[in-house]
Structure 1
Amino acid sequence: MTVQTRPLCDPFDPPRLSREEAERLCRTARRYSPLTSTLAGHLASISPTANALVTGADERWSVLKLRWSGSDAALCLPDSLVQHTLSLIQPVLDAGDLADDALALLMEHAATEMLDALEEAGVPVPIFGDCRFSARSDPSGDFGAVVTLDGRRWPVRLSGPDALISDLIARLGTAPANPAMRRLPAVVSLRAGWTQLTRREVASLEVGDGIVVESPDLSRQRVVAVVGERWAQYVNVRPQGLILGDRLMRAASDSMEDYLMARDGTKTPDDAPAGDVGELPLTVVFELGRVDIPVGKLEEIGEGYVFDLARQPNRAVELMAGGRRIGSGEIVKIGDALGVKITQLSGD
């Protein structure tokens, strides 16, 4: 006898969309990609936003007059953004001491590559007029965006004819969608020091052992932030936290290469017996902690960025080798040098 059994689940029948419905959904789901270039030689990006961000309570605004596509327009910029941009050109420049036309000329000079990027995106390049520093106490404008520069974010507002604003939004809307990869987390390791041991020495470590840290940076109140065992930058240890000293996404310099675990196997002793795996070198790094940062934000992070470890930096460190955690310890003095006393080993 044949027994009829019900299938475990009904066949999947996806809903059908007309071409018009699909196009409408795509337009609705479009995600604007930040326009990335440089401002005064530093990496910067512009992201459209529906609302201006709130700045400091005492923030004032500069007004930059523009001639854009045959129409008069004006761009409201926070005074702090104008002054920061000038400091990147020449630290002694003070926006309050400059004539309006001179300030506009310097701002146009700083924005040259950003204007080129706008032109490549199909946006007509505006002609700069005067720039009046500290002209308003509040921003005005029909189109808002956020400028990210050196890890800081500033709101800007553009005012002009409706046709100009609509055309600008339409042109920016044709830019590539912001890929989902930009939201994936990247691990930034904050490393207080390093040493190099053989694999045999690592295997023989016991709780209570002391390891001399071969880096002088910790005694100078700085550590190193490492991304992907490739990029590295110094981080200053201050009472207010761990503060980045320069742009994060830079290839590790010679002085920071020792903090990378990717260099394992580059310093095998000349007298190591042939085939003796135990004598292969292994870089051991001492981490204060790790921070997850979205991939899309890595290039925006610059000098002054504060890493949030969710705790105050102290003497506790994690021991990492070969990409794995091998234990934990605390920073101590070993003679005249700094070292790490092992308090726990993985597997204990």
Structure 2
Amino acid sequence: MSSTSDTLARTLRRELPAAVVKVLGGTATAIDAPSPDGAGWTITLPVSGVASGRIGIWIDAAAAAACARRLHPEITGEPDAAAVTQTLEAIGRQAAIVVEGTPEGAGLLAGEPSVEQVAAPETGSSFVVRLDDGLQIGVRLVVAVGGSTALGAERLADSRLDAVLDVDLPLVVRFGRTVMPLRNVAELSPGSVVDMGRTPDEPVELLVGDRLIARGEVVIVGGNYGVRITELTGSHRANEKEVRP
């Protein structure tokens, strides 16, 4: 199993109880236990996006029938294939939703689930989903997906960043600052001179909100004052860029 498939298998094992609860209600947990052999049903989810392939969720026949009866209380006997298929398709859709919402599944797109009756696969990750009423669903996961889910997380992060890159932020140039008694502040008037305690060649500070982002020197840009950035905070040197305040 590839690293991507292994990651998705672990994620699905963790999240499948939540998908089951979305459909059947109650509470559920995943426990380590061998799933039954023999007849059963497989939910197949095609996967595309940053990775491609298929996710197979096999459920033993007795548990699949019990799930259909729990979803359709009017069924008193053995549910027909249509009722089981409908129930498992609903679980498959919820499984796709919860996996796509995890960091491991970022950038993945799960298609519409298909359901068919098949024998238990010889390989795959086996466990049991136990519901609060005692129902135990034997599960085997067969995940065959290639690609990078980490890349999916990066692309998702990039798309979220793109959504806010055009937001206007106020850029403030701070020439200096000083502390004065309230009496002196009250006495300020036109023509007063305030000593900022700095020399003219000291760098000014650029702030976004209360966050210092850079330092630079005052220049003239097209007849207006501007700032040539000489240093980004964190001691990273920047290429000389002129910013007009």
Task: Report the TM-score when normalising by structure 2.
Answer: 0.40
Structure with larger Rg: 2
Q: Which has the higher contact order (CA 8 A, sep 6+)?
A: 2
Compare the two structures and name the one with the higher helix fraction. 2
Task: Report the TM-score when normalising by structure 1.
Answer: 0.30
